[in-house]
Amino acid sequence: MIKITTPCRLHITLIDMNGEIGRVDGGAGLTLSSPNIKVTAEEADGIRIAGLQGFADRMKKAAETLLPEGKGIRIEVKELIPAHVGFGSGTQSSLAAAAAVNELYGLGKSVRELAFTVKRGGTSGIGVTAFEKGGFIVDGGHRFKDKGAFMPSAASRVPPGPVLFREDFPDWDIVIAVPDEKGMHDQEEIDVFKKFCPLPIEEVREVAHMVLMKMMPAVIEGDIESFGAAVNHVQTIGFNKRESMIWPDFVKNIASFMRSRSYGAGVSSFGPVVYAFVDNREEGRQLQSEVQKMLDESVGGVTMMTRAKNSGAQISKT
């Protein structure tokens, strides 16, 4: 039997949605210790997804893509990451199923090979690298001539971009708000990319400057003040700025409040997950409690406090 526990990720920013110098996408993100997808897998006749069913179709499709002819698999889903909220659940669920087949039948494929096979990581490589290695990640996007258009990962058919930087993230507490709503996905995502891209080159340069000269050094030096300031800054420019134009009011209100009570806060991917970085556990618990009240009084949802995960998915065979 195979046991797999995936992490999830926060997507902090896309870098280049202009393409003038020949590359697009690129991004910065962070692997979280929780929530997780947990599955077990064993050989079976045909393909069966048992247990929690949130990603059954996606997992079945991923398994089908990799299974050797005449072989089958039974995957039991023990825990799930919420879908379409900004945690990268699509990538983690597909890779969990693909990795299960890979381990069960000794296919010997790398995580990046699995990701390309199941068509994940075509815009952001953060989720793929989170599954593979964890930590804080910056990826280098894609050659525009290979990709050909500004598209979200689910609609892109190119391999994950190269990892430019991967570093263990400091042991800071991260307060997470998970509203009881879904973010944009599928055709809605595609439409947003089409509407806003290409972005002005000046904003791309500003995002790149923030990531390279503030965010990355802050991770290495354990400087939460500079890291938070960089997170706050990239919310106001580039693709994040365009996403903020279409956030519902409850997301704007929660993000603004969390920013005022932490070193930095942002919305992951298309949201509605909002995250904030704190270095005082008691203050973090207080922020978590106050944000929970905001959720209870608006759309509902849950809050949590977690930390980064500096390793990838846990895969074991018994």
pLDDT, tens digit (0-9, with 9 covering 90-100), for 270-305: 999 999 999 999 999 999 999 999 999 999 999 999
Q: In the chain, where does DSSP find H-type helix?
A: 56-66, 89-104, 111-117, 126-132, 144-147, 187-196, 201-210, 216-221, 224-234, 238-245, 249-260, 281-296
Residue 156 to residues 142, 146, 148, 186, Cα–Cα distance (Å) = 11, 10, 10, 12
**Residue 190: its pLDDT value, please?**
86
Gyration radius from the chain CA atoms = 19
Residue type at 171 in one-letter notation: D
**Residue 162: its pLDDT value, please?**
95
Q: What are the residues facing 142 on neighbouring strands?
A: 24
At how many degrees (to 10) do helices 201-210 and 224-234 cross? 160
Contact 91, 122 (CB under 8 A): no
**pLDDT under 70 in the chain at which residues?**
153-155
Contact 40, 313 (CB under 8 A): no
**Residue 122: its pLDDT value, please?**
81
* Bond before 82 cis per omega within 30 degrees: no
Contact 196, 239 (CB under 8 A): yes
Q: In terms of Cα–Cα distance, which of 257, 292, 297, 250 is closest to 271?
A: 250
Residues 150, 125: Cα–Cα separation, whole Å:
15
